[in-house]
Amino acid sequence: MTTTLSRPEMLDITFAALADPTRRAILTRLSAGEASVTELAEPFAMSQPAISKHIKVLERAGLVSRGRDAQRRPCRLEAKPLAEATEWLENYRRIWEGQFQRLDLLLGEMKSELESESKK
């Protein structure tokens, strides 16, 4: 039985997966190209099963997929969930940028008023 998750649910899963520094490091490594679990485990002081658990979290979030190359099952980075998270964040960046621009205008007006009052 396959359950289709809503966009907010997928964002929750994506951000939860990205919350862990080890998983972010795995994604950073995969941004350079495919890698096996063994290759992904090399820089970490943890067991291969522990790395596999992190990879499963990333897979569940859709951030990583595994292929099949003979006996090797390379992991690869999947861009779509990151693009969706970036789009969601970008909406808030635009909102805050607009707020800061309005604040800049207000501060500029207040500064002009103070300067004109001090000249009186």
56-102: pLDDT as tens digits? 999 999 999 998 777 778 999 999 999 999 999 998 899 999 999 99
16-53 residue pLDDT tens: 999 999 999 999 999 999 999 989 999 999 888 999 99
Residues 70, 117 share a domain: no
Q: How far apart are CA 73 and CA 51, in angstroms?
A: 14
Q: How many domains does the chain have?
A: 2
Residues 87, 65 share a domain: no
Residues 85, 72 share a domain: no
Q: What is the pTM of this model?
A: 0.75
Residues 29, 49 share a domain: yes
Residues 70, 12 share a domain: yes
Q: pLDDT band at 3, cuts 50/70/90?
A: low
pLDDT > 50? residue 1: no
CATH of the domain at 35: 1.10.10.10
Q: Which residues pair with 76 in a beta bridge?
A: 65
Contact 78, 71 (CB under 8 A): no
Residues 58, 104 share a domain: no
The domain containing residue 39 runs over which residues? 1-78
Q: How far apart are CA 78 and CA 70, in angstroms?
A: 21
- Which secondary-structure segment (H or E) carries 58? helix 48-60
Spell out where 19-102 has E strands: 64-66, 75-77
Contact 81, 10 (CB under 8 A): yes
Q: How far apart are CA 19 and CA 61, in angstroms?
A: 12
Residues 6, 60 share a domain: yes
Q: For residue 108, what pLDDT is reported?
A: 92
* One-letter identity of residue 106: L
